[in-house]
Amino acid sequence: MSALTLASLRAAGQNSPEPVERALAAAQAVAPLNALISLDAEGARRCTAATDAPLSGVPFVHKDLFCTRGLRTTCGSKMLADFVPPYDATIVERLAKAGAVTIGKANMDEFAMGSSNENSAFGPVCNPWDTTRVPGGSSGGSAALVAANVVAFATGSDTGGSVRQPAAFCGITGFKPTYGRVSRYGMVAYASSLDQAGVLARSAADCAEVLQVMAGHDPRDATSVERPVDDYRAALELGVRGLRIGVARPLFGAGVRDAMQATVHAALRELEAAGAVLVDVDLPSLPLSIPAYYVIAPAEASSNLSRYDGVRYGHRAENAKGLRDLYGRSRAEGFGTEVKRRILTGTYVLSSGYYDAYYRRAQQVRRLIADDFARAFAGVDLIAGPTTPDVAFRLGEKTADPLAMYAADINTVAVNLAGLPAISLPAGFIDGLPAGLQLIGRAFDEARLFAAGHALQSRSDWHLQLAPGAVR
Ligand code: GLN
């Protein structure tokens, strides 16, 4: 059932069988997907939310990078395998207050670095549509648990696509808000100028309901914006009549499989039939987004991750012979291969002599990309394209080739570089595997994305299809 249905049944006093108990049992039933790092049955059973709270009694999971007081928060890393936060992230507080019930913490790529959920220190996650395939990353556990019908929604974080890409691979809806719309307080930092919390659910309507609770200014995050939150539920009914949707040529570029292009074009024609106007737009700098992102994100990561030194918190090497040995071995033992690769890349591009050639350059490209979007949005309300170049790939297929893995992010990272909101919507199937349509909005125009998403889902049933591995 959708989050909305569950909450309204609860308000009407008609919830049976109890959805939290059902979710806990379902989580056990899909244990082989390896989508959960921690199950918190006790905590879930302790929740006694008021029946009139907006998400009352709705079971969900948090990606394991949101700090949960008293419940370990690993960020998919051995470094934080035993870290029990002394405080809650802002969105953890807000969702609890809204009555939603966390049943546990979802598996993820270590420190949210990855596109396949194969970088987790707790092992890879399988895709419920085909367990030989990846669920996408880095919010792979979150996506798999929604797609497997265990929970109504899940939180995620999106630095370069980590909400939208796994949503696309798992046939669900994923929403990445504008940078600054949702507080980052208590969300373990990867690349602070790109990170934004998001939501994965089965429908745009459910994403709207959850974002309504998560969004809003937080004095504890200086980058969270003081600006009223629109009424997303009301926005769902706005429709798309007369809405101008820019079909972005480079999002249908060379690396995008033909079948994906055709599938997404067909989904766009549904929006056209609902009254939207499709026009061509160009984003000429988009092909530069991968190199720019993979300089900026590692640079920020190398700085953020310097806090894990074995002294303050996190993994500490045993029997250290002095401070340098403690730093070196704690980090060598605590971090996985991909995280080390990012720290090395980031340290390199920030070092004197290379800073101008790489980091400053990447920041200039970032500006060009943001300008491209600004120019395009002068003529259209939304920009559309496939979320990913292809459907979910096989486990192990890209692990030996980091550049091939990075290239899979070509359609998502530009959105983060420009700080914009975007949604990934189920848009059909290719060989039985889900494809995603990505819609990108102007900054703080989340409402229009919900309107378009709901319009599409009112006239299609792709989002209602259940994965073969889902609990029924
Ligand atoms: N795949 C991208 C990366 O590895 C994006 C990850 C994310 O959005 N957290 O950096």
**Domain positions in the chain:** 3-238+415-464
3-state secondary structure of 19: helix
Omega before 138 within 30 of 0, i.e. cis: yes
CA distances for 122 relative to 76, 81, 134, 155, 293, angstroms: 6, 9, 15, 19, 26
Report which of 164, 196, 167, 192 is spatially closest to residue 181, judged by C-alpha positions. 196
pLDDT at position 27: 98
CB 398 within 8 A of CB 404: yes
Report which of 208, 284, 266 is spatially closest to residue 428, judged by C-alpha positions. 266
CA distance 99 to 373: 38
Q: For the chain, what percentages of helix, strand and coil (3-state, to nearest 5) are there?
A: 40, 15, 45
- 472 residues of the chain, pLDDT tens digit each: 787 777 777 777 776 568 999 999 999 999 999 999 999 999 999 987 778 889 999 999 999 999 999 999 999 999 999 999 999 999 999 999 999 999 999 999 999 999 999 999 999 999 999 999 999 999 999 999 999 999 999 999 999 999 999 999 999 999 999 999 999 999 999 999 999 999 999 999 999 999 999 999 999 999 999 999 999 999 999 999 999 999 999 999 989 999 999 999 999 999 999 999 999 999 999 999 999 999 999 999 999 999 999 999 999 999 999 999 999 999 999 999 999 999 999 999 999 999 999 999 999 999 999 999 999 999 999 999 999 999 999 999 999 999 999 999 999 999 999 999 999 999 999 999 999 999 999 999 999 999 999 999 999 999 999 999 999 8
Query: Which residue from 138, 343, 411 has its CB within 8 A of the most atoms of ligand 1, so it is best to mutate?
Result: 138
Give the DSSP letter of residue 247: E
pTM (two decimals) = 0.97
Residue 211 CB less than 6 A away from ligand 1: no
How far, in Å, is the centroid of ligand 1 from the Cα of 225? Answer: 23
C-alpha dihedral sign at 19, 22, 24, 30: negative
CB 296 within 8 A of CB 415: no
> Which spans in 215-279 are helix H?
232-235, 258-273
CA distance 143 to 169: 8
CA distances for 74 relative to 64, 106, 406, angstroms: 6, 10, 24
How far, in Å, is the centroid of ligand 1 from the Cα of 21? Answer: 33
Distance of CA 336 to the CA centre of its chain: 21
pLDDT at position 15: 60
pLDDT at position 224: 97
pLDDT at position 8: 72
Who's near 97: CB < 8 A, 6+ residues apart? 53, 213
CA distance 443 to 179: 8
CB 180 within 8 A of CB 151: no
* CA-proximal residue: ligand 1, atom 5 (nearest): 160
Residue 160 CB less than 6 A away from ligand 1: yes
Residue 300 CB less than 6 A away from ligand 1: no
pLDDT at position 17: 62
CA distance 296 to 289: 10
Report which of 263, 224, 271 is spatially closest to residue 244, judged by C-alpha positions. 271
Residue 112 CB less than 6 A away from ligand 1: yes
Q: 284 — phi, psi (to 5°)? A: -60, -30
Q: Which residues are catalytic?
A: 63, 138, 162
CA distance 452 to 342: 36
Q: 125 — phi, psi (to 5°)? A: -105, 145
C-alpha dihedral sign at 175, 179, 182, 187: positive
Beta strand residue intervals within 216-345, DSSP E: 244-248, 277-281
CA distance 150 to 83: 26
Alpha-carbon radius of gyration of the chain: 21
CA distance 270 to 120: 38
Residue 158 CB less than 6 A away from ligand 1: yes
Per DSSP, the chain holds a count of helices (H) and strands (E) of: 16, 11
CA distances for 294 relative to 164, 402, 443, angstroms: 18, 11, 23
Following DSSP, what letter does each residue of 133-191 receive, concatenated?
Answer: B---SSSHHHHHHHHTTS-SEEEEE-SSSTTHHHHHHTTSEEEEPPTTSB--TTBPPSS
Domain 3-238+415-464 = CATH 3.30.365.10: no
Return the ∠ at Cα 218 (arms to 216 and 219), rounded to 5°: 150
Atom of ligand 1 nearest to the CA of 114: 4
For the chain, give the number of residues: 472
CB 176 within 8 A of CB 159: no
How far, in Å, is the centroid of ligand 1 from the Cα of 410? Answer: 11
How far, in Å, is the centroid of ligand 1 from the Cα of 357? Answer: 23
Give the DSSP letter of residue 230: P
